[in-house]
Structure 1
Amino acid sequence: MPQIDARTLKAQLNKGELSNLYYIFGQNIPDVEKLTKYIIKAAVGDNEEFALNRLEGRYLDFSELYDMIQMMPMMSEYNCILINDYNCEKPRENMAGLKAEDINKKLIEAIKDIPPHTLVIFNVTGFEIAVKTDFRTKKNTIKDRNKKLADFAEKNGVLIECPVKTESELAKDIAASVSARGSLISLDNARELAEMCQNDTLAIRNEIDKLCSYAGKNEITRDILNNFVHRQSDATIFKLADAVAALNKRMAFEALDELMQDKNNRGAVLASISNSFIDMYRAACARKKGKQINDVKEDFSYILDFKVKNAFRDSSRMSIKRLRKCITILRDTNMLLNFSRSDEKTILEQCITKMLMTKN
């Protein structure tokens, strides 16, 4: 069966059409978990205690798994097995003396002949699978060793990817989720919440719980967001890069102060700033050659659209020569942090000052 999306899967489950093998992955972890629950519910109903076996991928015993697959179901139509976070790149916690290819072959052998009364689900919630996007078909292809297991599932069962949603899609989901809890939020504020959480669906879900508990039946306003939601550090990095591009000294140092509070490792702060300016440099060079956002995303294997969009936006106000100067300043600052005993915050403030003094 070809790869399907979440909507198609739900339609199949509602019709009672179940496969014997599922592989569910993607950056949208809550959707991965949600679809897993849908499948389990369709297979065993309320009999999870007797009919569902939960296994951790890194501790699989393949002979035990094979026997479990052959077992007859108890008090349910299906014998259901959930295998969480099997990573073909590192299938064992301790890989000393072991080869990933050999272990993966044993797994494929164990699930090669799944009987009609057994349903096996692989889901990935604890690590990121590397994918490459075909921007013509909008389809993602797995690039690492996990592709072999995913391809096997696609050929012999069902393969489902749960990609990160756009801010507009997330805004609608946020508004619906807030409404279901009895509170209100405008679409503009919902988009702001998505941006503050960097489209991280797990972070958004946690923030919604907190905001609804505070707001009750009232509206979640922009002031409430600013007072109660911690803006993710990546968003602050973008804010800093934008401030340097616009020569906005006040906003630049406010962003730096936020970063210094969030990070104990000042080297990590500098690395994040450097990565942002490298993104902008790539975007500026791409624009000069007539390339688009999708070209940069594909060429440099970016996963999230907003990082490339922000880089294109912020770099439009900076010449390539100025970006090179800023990257040179960041390189020199990194060397100074590594070899100087001076106060780290002072060094970073001097770095920002030098970048603000560069000209197009």
Structure 2
Amino acid sequence: MPQTDPKTVKAELKKGDLKNLYYIFGKNIPEVEKLTKQIIKAAVGDNEDFALNKLDGRYLDTSELYDMIQMMPMMSEYNCILINDYNCEKPRENMAGLRAEDLNKKLVEVLKDIPEQTVVIFNVTGFEISVKTDYKTGKSIIKDKNKKLSDLAAKVGELVECPIKSENELAKEIAASVSARGALISLDRARELAEMCQSDTLTIKNEIDKLCSYVGSGEITSEVLQNLVHRQSNVTFFKLADAVAAFNKRSAFEALDELMQDKENRVAVLANITGSFIDMYRAACARQRGKQVMDVKEDFAYVWEFKVKNAFRDSSRMSIRRLRECIKILRDTNITLNSGGGDEKTILEQTVTKMLMTKN
């Protein structure tokens, strides 16, 4: 089948139309995870403990995968296999002595013969796939090495993109969600909220909860939005943390300059920067103790797994001692900002400079 969308797949699942191979990707990570859970539910019901195998794409063994695919289901109609974040560009965490083309070829051969009792799901939540837009259809076309795997899914199963929804689409969903909670919001204000949250569905959900708690059965006005909602930036906070980790002064200050455009929420900017470094500190401590991404995600109740994966990646370039020093600098900055002593932008620039000067 050609590339499709979550709505179509959900309609198929309701009819009992389950494919043997799915490849799910897109910038709307919560939707990727939600659709994955719905497919698993359709395949194995409440028997995940017996009928579901979860595999980390970075350590995928194709021989082991073949054996799993051929297994008969236990206590359910289907045997289900979920493979998270297999990246055809770099199929293994350690590629020493290995070629991506050889590993990908073996995987494709294994997937060409999936028996009718098995459902294999590939989903991407922790890395970005290189795509280009087909302006005739509006869909994203994968242009890196992951295209071969996604093309196979489109041919024998389902290739599903979960794109970020438009502000108009989100506005209708926001208005419905607010109304269900007994509050009011106009479509114009709903679009404003979507724009402030950069169409990030998880952020929007959290903001709706906060706003409805504040207004009760009243109306969410533009004034309420401006007072309670932190406007998201196009430059993500973990990119600033990544630049500091790499001692990249130019990238660090470019990110900070972009973040500082939000003059009304500079203290919130500091809170998010601090959060990024705390994420990296947790990841570094976990790595030292031999823990993995899923351990940290579960222990600290992270919603998005890719944030933990980014923290593991970025923290690999920083010692625990250096991370502690950066967090101490951020703590002192927070005290300074709360005391009202000086210009926020200048103080944050000094903070980034101090962190860039720390040593491993």
TM-score of the two chains, using structure 1 as the length reference: 0.64
Q: Partner residue of 2:127?
A: 127
Q: Alpha-carbon deviation of 1:344?
A: 8.3
**Letter paired with 1:190:** A
**Letter paired with 2:84:** N
Question: Structure 1's 257 and 62: CA in aligned 2 closer, same or farther, altered over 3 A?
Answer: same
**Letter paired with 2:191:** R
Q: Partner residue of 1:273?
A: none
**Separation of aligned partners in 1, 2:147 and 2:92:** 17
- Please give the per-residue CA displacement for 1:9-41, whole angstroms capped at 9, x wherever unaligned: 122111111110011111112221222122112
Q: Partner residue of 1:338?
A: none
Question: Structure 1's 175 and 153: CA in aligned 2 closer, same or farther, altered over 3 A?
Answer: same
**Letter paired with 2:184:** L
**Separation of aligned partners in 2, 1:143 and 1:259:** 38
**Separation of aligned partners in 1, 2:117 and 2:45:** 15
Q: Partner residue of 1:106?
A: 106
User: What secondary structure, in the 3-state scheme, does the structure 1 residue paired with 2:27 have?
Assistant: coil
User: What secondary structure, in the 3-state scheme, does the structure 1 residue paired with 2:93 have?
Assistant: coil
Map 1:16-95 → 2, pairs under 5 A: 16-95=16-95
More displaced, 113-122 or 219-228?
A: 219-228
Would the aligned equivalents of 1:196 and 1:235 in 2 still touch at CA under 8 Å? no
Question: Structure 1's 150 and 257: CA in aligned 2 closer, same or farther, altered over 3 A?
Answer: same
User: What secondary structure, in the 3-state scheme, does the structure 2 residue paired with 1:234 have?
Assistant: coil
Would the aligned equivalents of 2:131 and 2:142 in 1 still touch at CA under 8 Å? yes
Would the aligned equivalents of 1:29 and 1:202 in 2 still touch at CA under 8 Å? no
The answer to whether residue 233 in structure 2 is matched with residue 229 in structure 1 is: no
Q: Partner residue of 1:206?
A: 206
Unaligned 5+ residue runs, structure 1? 237-251, 267-342, 349-360
- Please give the per-residue CA displacement for 1:88-115, whole angstroms capped at 9, x wherever unaligned: 1222222233322222222222222111
Map 1:114-263 → 2, pairs under 5 A: 114-234=114-234, 255=261, 257=263, 261=267, 262=269
**Separation of aligned partners in 1, 2:270 and 2:67:** 49
Question: Structure 1's 81 and 256: CA in aligned 2 closer, same or farther, altered over 3 A?
Answer: closer
**Letter paired with 1:15:** K
Question: Structure 1's 179 and 86: CA in aligned 2 closer, same or farther, altered over 3 A?
Answer: farther
Q: Partner residue of 1:312?
A: none
- Please give the per-residue CA displacement for 1:46-84, whole angstroms capped at 9, x wherever unaligned: 222221122221122222211111111111100111111
Please say which structure displays the higher CA radius of gyration: 1
User: Which portions of structure 1, spanning 4 or more consecutive aligned residues, are displaced by more than 4 angstroms?
Assistant: 256-261
Question: Structure 1's 103 and 35: CA in aligned 2 closer, same or farther, altered over 3 A?
Answer: same
Q: Alpha-carbon deviation of 1:133?
A: 0.9
Question: Structure 1's 16 and 30: CA in aligned 2 closer, same or farther, altered over 3 A?
Answer: same
**Letter paired with 1:38:** Q
Question: Structure 1's 117 and 235: CA in aligned 2 closer, same or farther, altered over 3 A?
Answer: closer
Q: Alpha-carbon deviation of 1:134?
A: 1.8
- Please give the per-residue CA displacement for 1:178-236, whole angstroms capped at 9, x wherever unaligned: 33344332211111111111122232223223333434443333233222211112399
Map 1:326-345 → 2, pairs under 5 A: 345=346
TM-score of the two chains, using structure 2 as the length reference: 0.64
Question: Structure 1's 181 and 80: CA in aligned 2 closer, same or farther, altered over 3 A?
Answer: farther
Count of aligned positions:
256
Would the aligned equivalents of 1:47 and 1:75 in 2 still touch at CA under 8 Å? yes
User: What secondary structure, in the 3-state scheme, does the structure 2 residue paired with 1:63 have?
Assistant: helix
Q: Alpha-carbon deviation of 1:148?
A: 0.8
Q: CA RMSD in A?
A: 3.0
Q: Alpha-carbon deviation of 1:256?
A: 6.5
Would the aligned equivalents of 1:233 and 1:259 in 2 still touch at CA under 8 Å? no
Question: Structure 1's 13 and 256: CA in aligned 2 closer, same or farther, altered over 3 A?
Answer: closer
User: What secondary structure, in the 3-state scheme, does the structure 1 residue paired with 2:23 have?
Assistant: strand
**Separation of aligned partners in 2, 1:206 and 1:94:** 38
Q: Partner residue of 1:352?
A: none
- Please give the per-residue CA displacement for 1:305-341, whole angstroms capped at 9, x wherever unaligned: xxxxxxxxxxxxxxxxxxxxxxxxxxxxxxxxxxxxx
User: What secondary structure, in the 3-state scheme, does the structure 1 residue paired with 2:114 have?
Assistant: coil
Would the aligned equivalents of 2:230 and 2:265 in 1 still touch at CA under 8 Å? no
**Separation of aligned partners in 2, 1:55 and 1:139:** 28
